[in-house]
Amino acid sequence: MNLNKRVKLLSLSVSTVALFFSTAIYAQSDRLKVHKKVLYNMTFQMDSLNTASKTTELTELLLSDTVSLFRTLHKAEQDATYAAYINNKVIQLSAPVVVTIGKINNLNYQILKSNTGQIKVYDEYSGSNLNHVKEINYYTEPATAMDSWKLSSDTITIDQFLCQKAEIDFGGRHWTAWFSTEIPISDGPYKFGKLPGLILRLEDSSKTWKFEFQSIQNVDEDIELNKKENVEIKKINKDKLFKDRRYYQKNMLSIMESNGGSIAEDRKAAQERLNEVIRKDNNWIEL
């Protein structure tokens, strides 16, 4: 391992970082004092039949003394912009909302994880970008969600870290993870964790979803989640959230019209285009 990476890891505890939910985590505005940041590239193929539909998003795993947060950097930038508006009232947010027909933002989540295995997921407006956000939904995963890892003796080296193989079935997929005990953090991308080291690579068996470690660094950041005006935070059943997301997608045109929107093209042609987009959006991370 090169010297720079060793220096980055000097402040890591020899024991696994303890992450847990305090009762405050369920307040309407969650605050985190972040001391470490891990970046992953997330590559995914939204049409399972078309490799050309692959795209890559940069994501971050933020670690505090009590909880970890996983989200895309795009989500982080959106929230930072909105927070600046709330604090200073200097950003004009009244521009018309531009909607791409059939496009559903199902990467709009914020995932909080504890060392007991509890997972809490915030998701805004059921992942739809049809209108301004009116409510933030959240649901929880059972504490046993990450208890069925099967460890292997297989090892590889990733970015000069020695990694061990582990496998798990989750969200309708079979996943293979490579984790390193050289980074003693029991966490990883998305909802994954509870291994004896940080997950550096994670891929499903269809090879259409993949997370790859990019960097780890010490930081000193204060983050406040869900700092938004006139927004209700509402608990929802996970299955209902996924069902609602599909409902919004399939009924996008009528929902737009009922909210006073207009369609700039022939209604029938717009519906056909919507149906085609939905047909190709068939490979969500949880099936």
Per-residue pLDDT of the chain (287 residues; tens, 9 = 90+): 543 443 334 333 323 333 333 333 333 557 899 999 999 999 999 999 999 999 999 999 999 988 999 999 988 887 777 666 656 655 444 444 444 566 666 788 999 998 777 899 998 754 444 454 567 889 999 889 999 999 999 999 999 999 999 999 999 999 999 999 999 999 999 999 999 999 999 999 999 999 999 999 999 999 988 877 777 788 989 998 888 888 888 888 888 788 777 787 788 999 999 999 999 999 999 98
**Assigned domain for 235 exists:** yes
Q: What is the DSSP string of 249-265?
A: HHTHHHHHHHTT---SS
Q: Which residues pair with 124 in a beta bridge?
A: 136
HSE value, Cβ hemisphere, 13 Å, CA-based, for 10: 6
**Assigned domain for 286 exists:** no
Report whether 169 contacts 287 (CB < 8 A): no
**Assigned domain for 38 exists:** yes
**Assigned domain for 259 exists:** yes
Q: What is the DSSP string of 177-200?
A: EEEETTS---B-STT-B-SSSEEE
Residue with tokens 């809490």: 120
Rg of the chain on CA atoms, in Å: 20
**Assigned domain for 261 exists:** yes
Query: Could you tell me the pTM of the whole model?
Result: 0.83
Please tell me the total count of domains within the chain. 1
Phi/psi for 24 (5° steps) reads -70, -20
Report whether 173 contacts 210 (CB < 8 A): no
Determine the Cα–Cα distance for residues 85 and 98; give it in Å rounded to an integer.
20
Q: Please give the residue range of the domain that contains residue 230.
A: 3-280
**Two tokens, residue 249:** 């997608």
